[in-house]
């Protein structure tokens, strides 16, 4: 099935891709960002936050974006 | 890296729009990924010495930019923020963020503008053996660019930038009955900061190899 996937790791990606049917969000994350820690990313489907066991559907828009972007003079 | 005059003017304006750090992303053209054509903020919590982006706002920014037909390399590779005083050198917090958030990208840039006008710009790349280097920064007046729009920029600042007061750590500790009050050497530093004009303090020594635009 076909979904739209957006993320910034590697070369960056914002395009339609084919994935297997009935794939949970956690499995999709592990496939696409095998070295990523889930707590470092906000995962949304169709602009809504999702649980890790939510099943992706045809036409979904999956966005994986970085969390905790911060700067400070004093650490 | 180059800024067009519009992006540079907007960054400078927002840098001084409030008594806090601010941050955002550089937007580039598809043809020239090192030419910043716009500086865009997202909702963020700031103090005089810190800036933190809202996670959902970052996600919304990504979605909106893709809807505008841009690729991530055009809008999510150049992280810009400001510093008080005259020192643009990255802090340990800046370095941790740059490594954690942008370390898996093929390339990324951390750019810092101090309120005194000094700049810091470092390119990090993962191709080949990988590496990072400081790169020069310039404003390119030969590009075409839009007129400044202070009204819109002020509205963007008001919409996206929340300024929190600085609170010394030992004051926080003193508010908790459960915690023992411990002497915090950092507290005196912050107290002094609060009592003085907050932007006249010197955080670190200035190095001559950095540029001021
Ligand atoms: Zn910083």
What pLDDT is recorded for position B46?
96
| A58 in a structural domain | yes
Q: In whole angstroms, give the CA distance from residue B102 to residue B80.
A: 12
Domain span at residue A60?
A: 2-66
Q: How far apart are CA B72 and CA B56, in angstroms?
A: 17
Question: Which residue is listed with tokens 């990313």?
Answer: A41
Q: Does residue A74 lie within any of the structural domains?
A: no
Name which of B192, B143, B194, B185 is nearest B165 in CA terms.
B194
Which of residues B119 and B167 earns the better pLDDT score?
Answer: B119
Q: Is B131 exposed, middle or buried (0-12, 13-18, 19+ CB in 10 A)?
A: exposed
Task: Confirm whether A72 is domain-assigned.
Answer: no
Residue B142 scores a pLDDT above 90 = yes
pLDDT of A11: 81
Contact A71 B51 (CB under 8 A): yes
pLDDT band (50, 70, 90) for residue B115? very high
Query: Where are the domains positioned within chain B?
Result: 2-163, 167-213
- ipTM of the modeled complex: 0.93
Residue B178 burial (CB count, 10 A): 5
pTM of structure? 0.84
B154 φψ region: left (φ > 0), alpha (ψ -120 to 50), beta (else): alpha
B73 neighbourhood in chain A, CB within 8 Å: 11-12
Give the strands of the sheet with A48-49, arranged side by side. A13-18, A2-7, A61-66, A41-45, A48-49
- Mean of the per-residue pLDDT values of chain B: 85
CATH number at residue A45: 3.10.20.30
How many angstroms separate the CA of residue B73 from the nearest CA in chain A? 6
- CA B140 to CA B153: how far, in whole Å? 21
Structurally, how many domains does chain A consist of? 1
In-domain check, residue A71: no
Has residue A73 been placed in a domain?
Answer: no
User: DSSP class of residue B117?
Assistant: S
What CATH architecture is B2-163? Answer: 3-Layer(aba) Sandwich (3.40)
Minimum Cα–Cα distance from B58: chain A residue = A65
Residues B62, A12: C-beta atoms closer than 8 Å: no
Going by C-beta distance under 8 Å and a sequence separation of 6 or more, which residues neighbour residue B106? A10, A11, A12, B73, B125, B126, B127
Which pLDDT value is given to residue B171? Answer: 56
Question: How far A8 CA lies from chain B's nearest CA (Å)?
Answer: 6
Which of B56, B54, B105, B59 shows the shortest CA–CA distance to B78? B105
């Amino acid at each position: 099935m076909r979904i739209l996937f957006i993320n910034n790791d590697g070369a960056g990606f914002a395009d339609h891709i084919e994935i297997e049917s009935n794939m949970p969000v956690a499995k999709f994350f592990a496939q696409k960002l095998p070295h990523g820690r889930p707590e470092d990313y906000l995962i949304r489907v169709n602009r809504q936050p999702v649980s890790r066991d939510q099943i992706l559907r045809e036409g979904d828009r999956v966005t994986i974006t970085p969390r905790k972007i911060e700067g400070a003079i004093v650490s | 890296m180059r800024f067009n005059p519009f992006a540079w003017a907007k960054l400078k304006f927002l840098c001084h729009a409030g008594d806090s750090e601010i941050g955002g992303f550089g937007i580039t053209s598809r043809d020239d990924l090192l030419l910043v054509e716009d500086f865009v903020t997202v909702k963020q919590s700031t103090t005089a010495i810190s800036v933190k982006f809202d996670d959902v706002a970052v996600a919304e920014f990504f979605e909106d930019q893709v809807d505008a037909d841009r690729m991530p390399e055009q809008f999510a590779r150049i992280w810009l923020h400001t510093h008080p005083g005259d020192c643009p050198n990255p802090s340990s917090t800046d370095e941790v963020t740059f490594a954690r958030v942008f370390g898996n990208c093929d390339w990324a840039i951390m750019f810092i503008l101090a309120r005194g006008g000094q700049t810091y710009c470092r390119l990090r790349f993962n191709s080949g053996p990988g590496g990072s280097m400081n790169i020069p920064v310039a404003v390119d007046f030969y590009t075409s660019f839009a007129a400044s729009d202070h009204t819109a920029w002020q509205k963007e600042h008001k919409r996206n930038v929340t300024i929190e007061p600085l609170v010394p750590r030992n004051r926080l500790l003193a508010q908790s009955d459960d915690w023992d009050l411990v002497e915090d050497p950092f507290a005196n530093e912050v107290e002094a900061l609060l009592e003085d004009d907050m932007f006249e303090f010197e955080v670190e020594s200035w190095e001559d190899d950095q540029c001021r635009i």
